[in-house]
Amino acid sequence: MSPRPAAVPAPSKEGSTASPRPTTSQVALAQVPSCVPPRALHGPVSASEIPANCARPLAVVTTLFFMWGFLTCLNDILVPHLKSIFDLTYAEVMLVQFAFFSAYFLFSVPWSRVVNAFGYQRTMVVGLVLMALGALLFLPAASYASFPVFLAALVVLAAGITGLQVSANPYVVVLGKPETASSRLDLTQAFNSLGTTLAPKIGGLFILAAAPLAAAELAKLSPAALHAYRVEQAASVKIPYLVIAIALGLLAVLIARSNLPRIETATQASSNSVGDSLWKHRNLILGALGIFTYVGAEVSIGSFLVNYLGQPDIAGFSPRTAAGYVSFFWGGAMVGRFLGAPLLRRFPARRLLALCAVLASALVATSMLTQGHVAMWSILAVGLFNSIMFPTIFSLGVAELGPLTSSGSGVLNMAIVGGAILPLLQGAIADRIGIHSAFFIPVLCYLYILYFALDGSKPNSQRLRAT
């Protein structure tokens, strides 16, 4: 059965702001604010194109994109930190990303039901409160120096972020002109990338401040001394995550008190009533695999960067220094998204996606085949070409779904679970053949995205014309 995420409104009669009576072949809107056109909301935004009465709500919601980007990227700092504290293998420490990104698969459908029951704004508030609770759980995790409690805290934190994803993404889509929805989503994702750019630098300063002991030194410690060492090292996460919890609580109050346009969720017609099925749309199925591979590749690279840059044949950096360089990877994604918004209005999305996939795979391969600064900068440059992949794959995947768009969006959201599975796979491979050679996993991912851009993304109408 198809998942049902937060629904995206479907077309209504031009100029009408009243809710049409639901039929078996259309999606019914209960209420549309004056700044939201009452028709299908798809297409490639600059701030000047947003109606004045939608600019402020969009700015408020954009803060959510920043916060979940910041918290997601802090995992790239937690990975090397927890690896050294608990003396974990690469496969074991990748349980950090597995716990975090599994939440997208587990909680996307439940959160969509919350959206349908309580609306977008209330779901955002609940998501923020749950995120704050997850951040607070880092305090007992650090006090007891317990890796399982850290993983539990990450699951709760990611469950809250999933709620924001399910509510904020479709809300941004409907909050403005339909012809600029894709570019508007790319613009808000750019602020998400601002959060991912700042997180490694700030996290490195506070979390990776102390130099960890080597594995040989840890082996010499008594059980009591080892536990005391782990508690001391783990304590570095307490203040950062306490501050984050307070910030999330304040943001929840801000969103709750904001006068956001009320966009009620839609009543989705069943696939049987419209004579259509998600499985008949090849671009959606292949697009879900595209989201799976893109997120998996990006998270795999980001998760290994601190350890990779610490290798003697790459840069030999300390964890704290390497964390600062991780910001170049995520900063490239931020720059690319700001540049991508106008580019997506000028050039075909599939061609830009294909170009980015080719360049990303070439850069990862270059890093694998070289050493020193060439290997370092080539892997960091991949972030620039990751930039437009998510919004572009997403928009191509839901093309021509009509009243099935909301269910198709749910399929794509669940595919973010690639960020849980592929880093774990790369970690297991790195334990056997080394971290340098294990980067062939992202190369394969980008080659699949190239295939999707060139052929897999074609909607049914284009395939019928070609036959």
Token pair for 339:
């540049």
| Overall average pLDDT of the 335-352 stretch | 87
SS3 438: helix
Using alpha carbons, select from 362, 233, 379, 266 the residue that is nearest to residue 26.
266
CB 396 within 8 A of CB 353: yes
| Per-residue pLDDT at 46 exceeds 90 | no
- Per the listing, tokens 């989201």 go with 291
CB 284 within 8 A of CB 413: no
Backbone φ, ψ for residue 16 (5° rounding): -95, 135
What's the Cα-to-Cα distance from 137 to each of 104, 130, 441, rounded to whole Å?
19, 11, 33
| Per-residue pLDDT at 257 exceeds 50 | yes
| Per-residue pLDDT at 309 exceeds 90 | yes
pLDDT bin (cut points 50, 70, 90) of residue 395 is: confident
Tell me what pLDDT residue 4 has: 34
Give the CA-trace dihedral at 382, 388, 391, 395, to 10 degrees. Answer: -120
Tell me what pLDDT residue 312 has: 94
What's the Cα-to-Cα distance from 388 to each of 37, 70, 296, 355, rounded to whole Å?
25, 18, 15, 11
Using alpha carbons, select from 443, 452, 347, 326 the residue that is nearest to residue 394.
452
pLDDT bin (cut points 50, 70, 90) of residue 376 is: very high
Tell me what pLDDT residue 35 has: 54
Distance CA 174, CA 163 (A): 17
111-131 per-position pLDDT tens digit: 878 887 888 889 999 999 999
Tell me what pLDDT residue 167 has: 84
Lowest mean pLDDT among 240-244, 397-401, 460-464: 460-464
CB 405 within 8 A of CB 8: yes
What's the Cα-to-Cα distance from 352 to each of 342, 347, 359, 362, rounded to whole Å?
12, 7, 11, 15
Domains in the chain (CATH in brackets) are: 47-461 (1.20.1250.20)
| Per-residue pLDDT at 47 exceeds 50 | no
Read off the amino acid at residue 30: A
pLDDT bin (cut points 50, 70, 90) of residue 55 is: confident
pLDDT bin (cut points 50, 70, 90) of residue 13 is: very low
| Overall average pLDDT of the 288-312 stretch | 95
| Per-residue pLDDT at 237 exceeds 90 | yes
Mean pLDDT of the residues in the chain: 82
| Overall average pLDDT of the 331-349 stretch | 87
Residues 6 or more apart whose CB falls under 8 angstroms from that of 257 comprise none
Tell me what pLDDT residue 48 has: 45
Distance CA 328, CA 431 (A): 26
139-189 per-position pLDDT tens digit: 999 999 999 999 999 999 999 999 988 888 778 766 766 556 666 777 787
Residues 6 or more apart whose CB falls under 8 angstroms from that of 357 comprise 385, 389, 446, 447, 449, 450, 453
Burial level of 421, CB count in 10 A (0-12/13-18/19+)? buried
pLDDT bin (cut points 50, 70, 90) of residue 2 is: very low
